[in-house]
């Protein structure tokens, strides 16, 4: 079973998500939170596989709640999907930076929501390459990307792994990276995985952020 925690200040939204998710044989909603404080508390109690987190909530918002959950050593296996009304929400890049595994717009089709929950629970990042590219170009270009943290060093990466990491940062999928480098998708995926392991990235979403923090890629560099 995939245990899911819902965090949204609108009761009707939570009820709709619960009805959809609980109808699936492999998914169970283990809690509901109306604000960030409750989301953090319930995450510690229920230890969900996935948190569907509204980014805009009163008081402690989804961004701060995400930061606190990711920082909890007991929740290293919990993945957070940010829920937003807008694809290019100004808070999304920072949410990815602090550890969210991806995002969904609230009006996404039910089948896409279910696919996303299962994908994130399986360890994949929920990032649409096209939206990711536009998101980063829009907000990282405003100076929103902070300098790389001291512990972030690319010295341990091979030249090919750096190249692949830059392409991940530009929003390319494994298939697109494979086509660009004339390698198999399996080889591209291996390079991505090795870069994540060496840098300690939680998932592909964090690797995207690392690519920008390390200066491997900047908005608009990839035609």
Residue 189 has pLDDT above 80, yes or no: yes
- Whether the CA torsion 191, 194, 195, 201 is positive or negative: it is positive
Mean pLDDT of 159-173: 88
Mean pLDDT of 155-169: 91
Please list the residue range(s) of the chain that carry CATH number 1.10.10.10. Answer: 154-214
3-state secondary structure of 7: strand
3-state secondary structure of 85: coil
Rg of the chain, C-alpha, whole Å: 17
For the CA atoms of 138, 143, 147, 152, the dihedral, rounded to the nearest 10 degrees, stands at 0
What CATH class does 154-214 carry? mainly alpha
Mean pLDDT of 212-216: 79
Number of other residues whose CB lies within 10 A of the CB of residue 105: 17
Is the separation of the CB atoms in 40 and 9 below 8 Å? Answer: no
Q: What percent of the chain is modeled with pLDDT above 70?
A: 85
Q: Which of 82-86, 141-145, 190-194, 208-212 has the highest mean pLDDT?
A: 190-194
Give me the pLDDT at residue 99, please: 86
Looking at per-residue pLDDT, the higher value among 83 and 143 belongs to 83
Tell me the two tokens of residue 24: 């699936």
3-state secondary structure of 27: strand
Query: What's the pTM?
Result: 0.78
pLDDT, mean over the chain:
86
What CATH class does 2-126 carry? alpha beta
107 φ, ψ (degrees, to nearest 5): -95, 20
Mean pLDDT of 98-107: 86
């Amino acid at each position: 079973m995939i245990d899911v925690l819902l965090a949204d200040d609108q009761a009707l939204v939570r009820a709709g998500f619960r009805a959809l998710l609980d109808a699936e044989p492999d998914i169970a909603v283990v809690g509901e939170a109306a604000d960030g404080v409750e989301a953090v508390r319930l995450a510690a109690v229920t230890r969900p596989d996935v948190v569907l987190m509204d980014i805009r909530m009163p008081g402690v918002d989804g961004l701060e709640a995400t930061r606190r959950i990711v920082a909890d050593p007991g929740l290293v296996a919990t993945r957070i999907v940010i829920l937003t009304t807008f694809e290019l929400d100004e808070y999304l890049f920072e949410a990815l930076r602090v550890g969210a595994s991806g995002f969904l717009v609230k009006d996404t089709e039910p089948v896409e929501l279910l696919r996303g929950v299962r994908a994130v629970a399986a360890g994949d990042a929920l990032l649409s390459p096209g939206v990711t590219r536009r998101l980063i170009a829009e907000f990282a270009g405003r100076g929103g990307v902070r300098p790389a943290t001291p512990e972030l060093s690319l010295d341990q990466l091979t030249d090919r792994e750096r190249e692949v990491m830059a392409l991940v940062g530009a929003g390319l999928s494994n298939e697109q990276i494979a086509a660009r480098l004339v390698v198999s998708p399996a080889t591209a995926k291996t390079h991505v995985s090795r870069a994540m392991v060496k840098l300690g990235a939680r998932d592909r979403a964090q690797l995207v952020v690392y690519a920008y923090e390390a200066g491997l890629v900047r908005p608009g560099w990839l035609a």
